[in-house]
Each structure stands twice: as C-alpha cells, then as structure tokens.
Amino acid sequence: MDKFDTLTGIAAPLPMQNIDTDKIIPARFLKTIKRTGLGVHLFDALRYNKDGSENPDFVLNQEPYRKAEVLIAYENFGCGSSREHAPWALLDFGIRCVIAPDFADIFFNNSFKNGILPVRLPRAVCEQLVEDSKLGGNARVTVDLQRQVVVRPSGEEIPFEIDPFRKHLLLNGLDDIGQTLQHDKAIDTFEDHKRQEQSWMPSTFA
C-alpha cells in the first residue's frame, strides 16, 4: 500500500448526499478480486450514457477533473453494501482522499485499509470546498496528514481529526498484511520455538 503523507491535487465536486457503494461501483463489476482496472467503471451510471458514451455533464468527464485526486461530497458517503471494490475503484481512478461530513462505517474502514484517506469536515466547510473546486485547474487543495489540515486554494488551513493508529498506518503505507509483517522477527522466533518444543508434531511449524 502506498504511503499517504501530503497530497496536493485537483479536487472534484460531487455535492450529493447518500452516495452508496452501488453508485460508486455497480454490482455487475464485482466479478473480479483484482484491485486494478475498476477505475473505468467508477460512478458508471453517472459517467456513461446508456449507449456507453460519456455523459459530458458528469464532473469526472470534464477537465481538469479527469485527473482529480480529491473528491468533495456530502453526508453519508459510501453507504449501502459493504463492497471493498468501492475504495478499489476510487483508488484505481486516482482518488486518494474523500472529504465529506460523514461516511458509512464499513466504507470508512475499508478506505483506510486501501490507502484512501476519508476526511470528516462539517457540511458548511464541504460547501466551501465545493465552491473552491469550481476554480477548475486552480482548484488544488492540499491534504497534510502529518499536520492534520486541509489547505484551501486561498491558503486557509482547516484542521481535521483522525485516529492516531490509522494515521500511523497511512503515513507508513501499512495495510493488514503490512501490520503483520512489522512483527516478522517475533513470528519467526515463535515458530522456531515451536519447532524445537514440538518437533514430534508434523504441523505448519515444520
């Protein structure tokens, strides 16, 4: 998992409430367990017309938001079913941070596990960021995880809260497997001890 420290990027406005995981990545695209290739289907029903052509009115089909790395939304982002494909699709498109007043719990947890930073900010602040994002190519925000601030294009710094352990994981690029591998020496020591203590057992320690 890539580390997340400081991100400066284009922010795309998606001023909608209750954006569920089926809207983020429709169920028909959940046939794969690969984390790549899903970005093209991100917000499929909103991005494409029935004939498969792009919907020019959807923000991610417009310049400069095709290269957005930050998404600004409203309440209850990521509600619905608990599909991990939702953060996979966002990440594959290039989104590393979603800012919203609040998130569905499972999506919130899955985001951290996949290197996406979900930032909770009040609705009024999100509305300001949506207005900032209309600056187009100049709509760049900075998300500084170390300092725990979102920096508006004007330079104003907006603080946000984050669990210290989750902050540590993102700063160091540690997913569940990465967390376990931090203890690889202790694991090796434990296995060596078990081999000696239970040499008679044809177990997984052998």
Q: Domain limits of the chain?
A: 6-174, 177-206
**Residue 117: pLDDT above 90?**
yes
**Residue 111: pLDDT above 90?**
yes
Question: From CA 103, how far away is CA 118, in angstroms rounded?
Answer: 8
Q: Which of 46, 161, 177, 143 is nearest to 101 (CA)?
A: 161
Query: What is the pLDDT confidence band of residue 62, given thresholds at 50, 70 and 90?
Result: very high
Question: From CA 40, how far away is CA 25, in angstroms rounded?
Answer: 10
The share of the chain scoring above pLDDT 90, in percent, equals 76
**pTM for the whole thing?**
0.86
DSSP H helices, 33-154, are 44-47, 85-93, 105-113, 123-133
Question: From CA 80, how far away is CA 126, in angstroms rounded?
Answer: 22
Q: CATH for 6-174?
A: 3.20.19.10
